[in-house]
Structure 1
């Protein structure tokens, strides 16, 4: 039984490839996040993992969790953002930079989603409006009489 577990682990390692230590710096954050990934992991999975680690550590500024709202750069490769479908180990680099997409690209994405029949309703926007309404209602300068 012990031999079969070891063989299974070896097979999984061979399929996924070698493990590498990745360092992801966030624009505007204090320092990079480091974690271990497989060489065969896609850039989209690495971005997702980096965002989860960032949120788990409670870092500032607060970022979203949708990996489509971010651009992933490798300073050693060039100024272009990496494709989310590339294998992270194919680049030969270990240090990366994660930035939020410009607002124009986010708006363009929302318009495309609305055209495709998806809802473009933002939960976070609704929370902001309800909080704002509550704030104004709570602190209004109305004087009540008995």
Structure 2
């Protein structure tokens, strides 16, 4: 009986492992996705989402800003990824290069900060200006209604 077991394991070792793996495992090996956590400075908590390891840092910043806005978080940040820097949360002091892949840094926790000299108040004013009844009335009647 032991002889039969060893023969079965011998036959398995000759067959490529990929035949025994599910298609989900094969796709996972191909894509190499990472669960990352991005903390936005001044926000209540981190954003968590999946990214490909070879995805560029600038697209991760852009995806973070979109998720942040979609969740309705405050303060309003805007959508221009050029106004922000992404840092590894493990203590590296240099900002990540926007054209590098996110997986090349080996971290899973990141911090998003606005660049110095960028005024986010303008983004909040612009967001408020394009919604609400005053905007609708101004657009409809071409009148200017002053705010209190």
TM-score of Structure 1 vs Structure 2, range by shorter chain: 0.5 to 0.7
The aligned residue for residue 52 of structure 1 is: 66
Preserved contact between residue 77 and residue 91 of structure 1 (Cα < 8 Å) = no
- Runs (5+) with no aligned partner, structure 2: 1-21, 120-124, 136-143
Pairs aligned (count)? 109
Mapped to 2, the partners of 1:97 and 1:69 lie a distance apart of 14
Say if 2:82 is the partner of 1:68.
Answer: yes
Say if 2:51 is the partner of 1:37.
Answer: yes
RMSD: 3.0
Preserved contact between residue 40 and residue 88 of structure 1 (Cα < 8 Å) = yes
Mapped to 2, the partners of 1:48 and 1:76 lie a distance apart of 21
CA offsets per residue over residues 15-34 of structure 1, 9 Å max, x none? Answer: xx300101000000000000
The aligned residue for residue 93 of structure 2 is: 79
- Runs (5+) with no aligned partner, structure 1: 1-5, 108-122, 140-146
Mapped to 1, the partners of 2:35 and 2:80 lie a distance apart of 23
SS in 2 for 1:73: strand
Q: Provide TM-score, normalisation by structure 2.
A: 0.62
Say if 2:48 is the partner of 1:27.
Answer: no
**Within 5 A, what are the aligned runs for 1:96-115?**
96-103=110-117, 106=118
Q: Larger Rg: 1 or 2?
A: 2
Q: Provide TM-score, normalisation by structure 1.
A: 0.63
